Homo-oligomer: A and B are copies of this chain.
C-alpha cells in the first residue's frame, strides 16, 4: 500500500509498504479522506509538537474517515476516533479518556496515522457514517468533536455573549456550536480576511480583522465595556490569548483551545485576577462522536462548507504547503 511519511522539515515522501497487521479487537480500514489539522502542520514545519519530536519517519493524519476492508462489515463507511484510550487507568475509569495516561494517538509520536491506504484500528474507535454524510464529512467529525468538547466545557447559557479568537476550522465550528447553544451575540476575530468572512457567513454578530490591532477593544466597545461571557482562544497565538483575556467579562471564562507555538502561555495576571476568571484548557474530546454525527446529519452543523480544498494523495505536499499558508480553511487529502 501507499504510505506518506514525514522525514524532516517539510519533507513528505510516498512509500510502498506492506499492509498493516491486525491487532486484537482491530479491523482493517481503507482510508477515504484525511483532513490536515493545525497540529499536523506543527509536525510538518517543526518536526514535533509540544514535547513530542520526530524520532523516525511518521505517517501524519488523525482526522479521517474510512471504509471497513473485509469481514462481515466489508464496505461499511466509518468515522474514526484517532485516540486510543486504555480504558483502565484512573482517568479512563472516571470518564476522561481524553486524559488517559496511556493514550495512543494516530499520527503522533511513534504511532502512524491516516495518510496511507490502509490502517488497522480498534473496532471500538469506529462510528458508522449515515448515508447522508460524505467521506469528507466523516473526516470533519474529529475537529467537530474537539469543538463540541470545548463548548461543553464552557457551559454557554441562552442569551450569553461569546468571543471567538481565531477562525480556522475549529474556531468556525465553535462559532456554529455557540450559535446553536443560544449565544445571543458572537464576536469573532482573525488575522486573515477570508477567515473573518467565513465567520460572518456562519452567523457571527460582528467580526474584526486583527492584522493591525487587537480585537478586544472593539469587542469591549460593542458591549458597552462589559465584554463577553465566554472567550474561546482558538488561534494559539499570544495576541489571541491577550485578546481573549482582555475581552472577557468579570466572572467569565477563557477557553484555551489553540495550540501555541511556544511552550509558555502568558496572560495578564492583574486583570485576570481582578476579574476572577476561570480558564479551561481543552484537551481533545470525550463521548462526542454520536452527538457530532447527529448534529451534522440533522443539518444543524455545517461541516461541508469548511472544506475549501481537496487533494489527491500524490499531491500531499502541495496540500500541506497550502494549509501552512492558511490559504483556505480545511484542506483534505484523499488516499
Contact = CB atoms under 8 A, between A and B. Distances in A.
Interface of A: 49-51, 87, 90-91, 93-99, 101, 148, 151-152, 155, 157-160, 177, 180-182, 184-185, 226, 250-251, 256, 259-260, 262-284, 286-287, 290-292, 294-295, 298, 300
Contact of A295 (B101, B158, B266): B158
A294 B159 CA distance: 7
Contacts of A98: 276
Contact of A184 (B95, B158, B182, B300): B300
15 contacts: A50-B273, A90-B226, A93-B97, A151-B157, A152-B158, A159-B292, A260-B269, A262-B269, A264-B266, A265-B268, A266-B266, A272-B281, A274-B283, A278-B280, A279-B281
A276 B177 contact: no
A127 B290 CA distance: 34
Q: How many chain copies does the complex carry? A: 4
Main secondary structure of the interface of A (DSSP, over half): mixed
A32 to B, nearest CB: 24
Contact of A95 (B94, B101, B226, B262): B94
B259 A273 contact: yes
Contacts of A90: 226, 287
Contacts of A50: 269-271, 273-274
A37 to B, nearest CB: 15
Nearest to A149: B276
A305 B273 CA distance: 29
A250 B91 contact: yes
Contact of A181 (B101, B181, B272, B279): B181
B279 A283 contact: no
A155 B155 contact: yes
A278 B96 CA distance: 14
Given A98-B276, A278-B279, A180 B158 contact: yes
B182 A300 contact: yes
A263 B256 contact: no
Nearest to A254: B279
Given A91-B250, A180-B182, 19 more contacts: A49-B270, A90-B226, A93-B95, A99-B250, A99-B275, A148-B158, A148-B159, A152-B157, A157-B181, A158-B177, A159-B292, A159-B295, A160-B291, A181-B182, A182-B182, A265-B269, A276-B282, A276-B284, A278-B279
A181 B158 contact: yes
Given A155-B155, A279-B279, A295 B184 contact: yes
